[in-house]
Amino acid sequence: MPHLRPTEDRVFAGLFPALLLSAALAAGCEGEIGERSVEPGAHGGAAGSTPVAPGLPSPAQTEAQKAADAQMRAANPTLFETAAKYFPEEAGASAPKRLFRLTRTQLDTTAKSLLPSHWKAPIGDTMPRDPLQTNYEYAANLGWNAANFTPYTQWVQAIATSVRATPNSVIDCTSTSDAACLEDRAKKFVTRAFRGITDAAMLDRFAKFYLASVSEVGFPDATADLVDLTLTSPQFVFRDEVQTNGNLLAPAHQLQNLSYTLADAPPDALGLPLTDAAAHVGSPDAVQRTIDKLLATPQAREKLLRFFISWLEVKEPDEFGIAADVFPEFTPAVAQAAVDETRAFLNHQLASAAPKLKDVTQSSQSFVSEALEDIYDVNSASSTRPTQLDPKQRLGIFTQPAVIASHSGPVTTRLVKRGVFFTRKVMCLPLGLPPPGTNTTLPEVKNTTERKRVESATSGGVCAGCHTYINPFGFMQENYDAIGRWRTTDEGLPIDASIKIDFLDEGVLMTQTPVEALTAITKSMRFQQCFARQLFRFYTGRDEGPGDDPVLRQMFFGFANADQQDIVAMLQTLARSATFSQRSEAR
C-alpha cells in the first residue's frame, strides 16, 4: 500500500479476521462400473474452504424431490431407471458453507464494472493461472500464494494509480472539505465493491479511514488508497456462501451466487442491481426470470466456452510441448490456428438459444484456416465459414487438432494419456493411480505400432484392470498422429483402430474406426451422465456428493430424454436447485 498509516492499520485489524475465517472454512482401480464414479484425489471445494457433511433436506425439499422423480418415472421409466443407477441417492442435501475466492475472470469483471475508466489490462496478463488441483478439478486451486498474491496487488496498485490522477471519478464530491459527502460517497463505493454485502460497522470503519486519510495525505492519494484497500480486502476477493437465514442464503448472497456461477460477473454488471436482490430471487418465478436473464447474456456464453475448454483440457498455443524436431510443421502459428479453430467452432455451436451437445460432438464441419489445411488435408472455405470435412475421418470436437494435440506426447500419440483423459473426463469411469512401484514406461520395441507396445505392457497383472477401460479409448484415436493429422500407418505398419468395450448401458460396442466409436460413445448414457457431472463440477466449483444426486438425476434425465442434449436447459435445472439457494451448517 502506498500510504500505510496507523488509521489503515486499524482498518486492517478489523478486516483480517474475515480472511482468517475464509482459511478456516476454506492406488489401483477400485469399484464396479455401475457405482458412483468419484475420482480419487478430487477435493470438495475451492481452496480456502474445507468440505463438510451436507445438511439434511427439509420436508418441503423431500416432497419436491419425490414429485420430480415421479414425474420423470412416468415420462420415461427406462431412462429414469438409468438415471437412478448413476445417481441413486433419493434424499438431497444442502451444499456445505464456504468462502469462495473469485477466479481471475471474476476478479477482472468485478473490477472492470466497478472502475471501468481505470481498468487497463486483464489480470491474466500479470497474475498466473491457478493450478488445477487434479486432472479433472475445475474449481482451480483458488487460494493465495507468493506466485499470485504479489501480481494481484501490483495489478490493484496500477488501478489505484489511475484513480489518483482522477479521484473525482470515484468520489464525486464538489468540495474535498465536504466531510458528509466524502463519507457518503466512500460508503457507496465500498458497498458496490463488496456487492451489497456490508454492515454499518464495516462501512463506518472504511469511512473513518478515508476521512482521516484525506486530511493526512490529500484527496487524490486518499482516494487511491481507498481503492487499493477495498480491492485487496477479503470482502472483495472472496464470495461469501456462509451467511444464511436458517439454511437459506440471504438474497444478496444468492443473487451474486447465481451471477458469478452462471456468468462469472457481479450482478450489477449484468443488469441485476444488488439493491433489489430480494426482487430478483424472492420467489420461484423471480428466480427463474433471473436465471433466464443471466443465461442469455454474452458473459454466460463466454463462461460456457470456458467450461468446454477446461473440460477438454485444451492447451494454450505455447503449452503443447510437441517436439519441433519430430513435427516441424507444428509451428507456433499452426498451434495458434488450432486453438483458434476450436474456439471458433465452439462459439458457433454454442451461439443458439438452446445449444445441443450433439452439435459439438457429432459435427463434420469446422472452421479451418489456411494454416490448418495441411493437417486436415483440405482447402479451407474460410476461417470465418465452416469447412466440410471428410465424415469418414472427422466427427466433432474430439477429432480437432487442438484437442488431440493437447493429449499427445512430444513425439508419439501417447495413447495411454489419451485413454486416461477419456476414461476420467469424458466417461467418468472409476480410475485410480497405478499401484506403487509400477513401471509405467513403455518398453522400446522397434518395428511395431504404439498399440502393440501398449497391449504388450498392459495385458496382464496389476495393469489389466484399469487398462480395460483406458486402452480402447486410446486405440480408437490411433488414426490421428500427435498433431491431429489423419494417418493409416504407424512405423510403416497398418493401424488397427478397432475396439470392443462392454461397459456401456447399451451393451457391447465393437467398432473399426474413430468415427464409428465416437458416434456410439457420444450417444451413450454413460457419456451423457458424465457430461452432467462435469458441468456440475465446473459451475459449482466442487465435486458432487450423494446429496447432489437428486439434482444430477434431473439434469441427466432432462438432457438425455428424447435425445435433447440441451446444455442451457441443464444449467437451468442446476440453477433452480437447492445447490444455489441453501447452505448447511459446518459439522
**Residue 327 maps to a domain:** yes
**Residue 1 maps to a domain:** no
Question: Alpha-carbon distance 584 to 570, whole Å?
Answer: 24
Task: Say if CB 429 and CB 469 are below 8 A apart.
Answer: yes
* Predicted local confidence at residue 96, as pLDDT: 80
| 362 shares its domain with 226 | no
| 502 shares its domain with 360 | yes
| 457 shares its domain with 580 | no
Residue 526 pLDDT greater than 70, yes or no: yes
* Predicted local confidence at residue 141, as pLDDT: 54
The distance of Cα 212 from the centroid of its chain, to the nearest Å, equals 43
Q: Which tens digits make up the pLDDT trace of 387-402?
A: 999 999 999 999 999 9
Mean pLDDT confidence for 58-85: 90
**Residue 44 maps to a domain:** no
**Residue 256 maps to a domain:** no
Residue of 305 and 97 predicted with greater confidence: 305
Residue 55 pLDDT greater than 90, yes or no: no
Q: Which tens digits make up the pLDDT trace of 107-136?
A: 999 999 999 999 999 998 999 887 654 444
Residue 377 pLDDT greater than 80, yes or no: yes
**Residue 366 maps to a domain:** yes
Task: Say if CB 28 and CB 464 are below 8 A apart.
Answer: no
| 106 shares its domain with 87 | no
Residue 509 pLDDT greater than 90, yes or no: yes
Average pLDDT of the chain to the nearest whole number: 86
Range of the domain at 538: 59-91+525-584
* Predicted local confidence at residue 117, as pLDDT: 96
Q: Which tens digits make up the pLDDT trace of 190-214?
A: 999 999 999 999 999 999 999 999 9
Compute CA distances 196 → 114, 189, 567, whole Å: 12, 10, 31
| 468 shares its domain with 340 | yes
**Residue 276 maps to a domain:** no
- Please identify, among 521, 537, 556, the residue that sits at the C-terminal boundary of a domain: 521
CB atoms within 10 A of CB 56: 14
Q: Which tens digits make up the pLDDT trace of 446-483?
A: 788 999 999 988 887 778 788 999 999 999 999 999 99
Which 8-state DSSP code applies to residue 356? B
| 425 shares its domain with 563 | no
Residue of 440 and 323 predicted with greater confidence: 323
| 361 shares its domain with 503 | yes
| 498 shares its domain with 540 | no
Question: Alpha-carbon distance 151 to 136, whole Å?
Answer: 26
Find the range with the poorest average confidence among 59-63, 139-143, 458-462, 501-505: 139-143
* Predicted local confidence at residue 60, as pLDDT: 66
The share of the chain scoring above pLDDT 70, in percent, equals 86
Q: Predicted confidence band at 240 (pLDDT cuts at 50, 70, 90)? A: confident
| 504 shares its domain with 558 | no
Compute CA distances 260 → 7, 108, 238, 310, 459, whole Å: 33, 12, 11, 17, 47
| 134 shares its domain with 82 | no
Residue 443 pLDDT greater than 80, yes or no: no
Residues 6+ apart with CB under 8 A from 152: 107, 123, 126, 127, 144, 232, 237
Q: Predicted confidence band at 26 (pLDDT cuts at 50, 70, 90)? A: very low
| 483 shares its domain with 549 | no
Mean pLDDT confidence for 217-223: 97
Which 8-state DSSP code applies to residue 254? H
Give the number of domains in the chain.
Answer: 3
Find the range with the poorest average confidence among 61-75, 133-147, 176-190, 236-250: 133-147
- Please identify, among 506, 521, 536, the residue that sits at the C-terminal boundary of a domain: 521
**Residue 154 maps to a domain:** yes
* Predicted local confidence at residue 71, as pLDDT: 96
Residue 479 — φ and ψ, nearest 5°? -75, -10
Task: Say if CB 37 and CB 429 are below 8 A apart.
Answer: yes
Q: Predicted confidence band at 54 (pLDDT cuts at 50, 70, 90)? A: very low
Question: Alpha-carbon distance 291 to 574, whole Å?
Answer: 10
| 312 shares its domain with 436 | yes
**Residue 75 maps to a domain:** yes
* Predicted local confidence at residue 131, as pLDDT: 67
Question: Alpha-carbon distance 558 to 565, whole Å?
Answer: 8
Find the range with the poorest average confidence among 5-14, 352-361, 430-439: 5-14
Question: Alpha-carbon distance 269 to 109, whole Å?
Answer: 8
- Please identify, among 242, 261, 289, the residue that sits at the C-terminal boundary of a domain: 242
